[in-house]
A = this chain, B = another copy of it.
């Protein structure tokens, strides 16, 4: 079998080591508070892995459980506490609504604004899972480092099957802002995110396409899935030979024979997500101390 399986543990390890070394050498105690306002087994599991990884790397993690009605007040309170450097909320809380991401960062992400300051010293915070997938794509050679920063996906065609507000849509925007041509698929429609021929646009634009899944998957260099049901399987027959496939769903969205066709298979990204969570926390710690 020529397919190479790349595990998220391998991808995340250099980030984890770097975080650990930084926290130790600087003697700092960045603190993360996680709010759990549901009984969703995936959310509980995510909270447990967060706790474990934080302990390993030297981040103080505190899990606060509450009812969803109390959540807003609790967030406001934590936000005013100078000893807390980052807050995360385990989803879902109120179902399908857009939840919890800071408005300024959302705006900047969609508008391809990468820094908070004119001097470009403070990078914007990117949501953990989309950021983790960017790091996965860098690790496995989809970003071309020969191209200038910001254009390194030029020429890549990427399908993302998931357009949730917390992963699929921001991911499509990030990859299109980096120069990729992205097909964003949800149950209702397929949209195309891109910066135009020759990347003539500064930020991506979005348009509906009449192309069907059966037409876009065979022309995609990379296919990323995040369908939250055990029954969904993308047919291997649709994939281009040598495709790169990445799954971020808790369920396997590819068929068992996907490795007969793919060149690289990343079955999960969870460990990279937690490394990015801590990396974001460290940035927030620094921005707070510079205020």
A16 at interface (Cβ–Cβ under 8 A)? no
When distances are taken between beta carbons in the complex, the residues of chain B under 8 Å from A197 are 241, 260-261
- C-alpha gap A92/B120 in the complex (Å): 56
Among the interface residues A4, A6, A155, A200, which one has the most CB atoms of the partner chain B within 10 A? A155
List the interface of chain A (C-beta within 8 A of B).
Answer: 1-4, 6, 139-141, 144-148, 151, 154-156, 179, 181, 197-200, 219, 221, 240-244, 259-261, 263-264
- The A interface, classified by DSSP as helix, strand, loop or mixed, is loop
Closest to A241 in B: B197
Flag if A3 contacts B264 (CB, 8 Å): no
Question: Could you say how many copies of this chain the assembly holds?
Answer: 2
Query: Which of B141, B156, B179, B198 sits near A261, CB closer than 8 Å?
Result: B198
- C-alpha gap A58/B3 in the complex (Å): 43
23 example contacts (A-B, Cβ-Cβ < 8 A) are as follows A2-B154, A3-B198, A4-B148, A141-B144, A141-B146, A146-B264, A147-B263, A147-B264, A151-B263, A154-B242, A155-B221, A155-B241, A155-B242, A156-B242, A179-B242, A181-B241, A181-B242, A197-B241, A197-B261, A198-B241, A198-B259, A198-B260, A221-B221
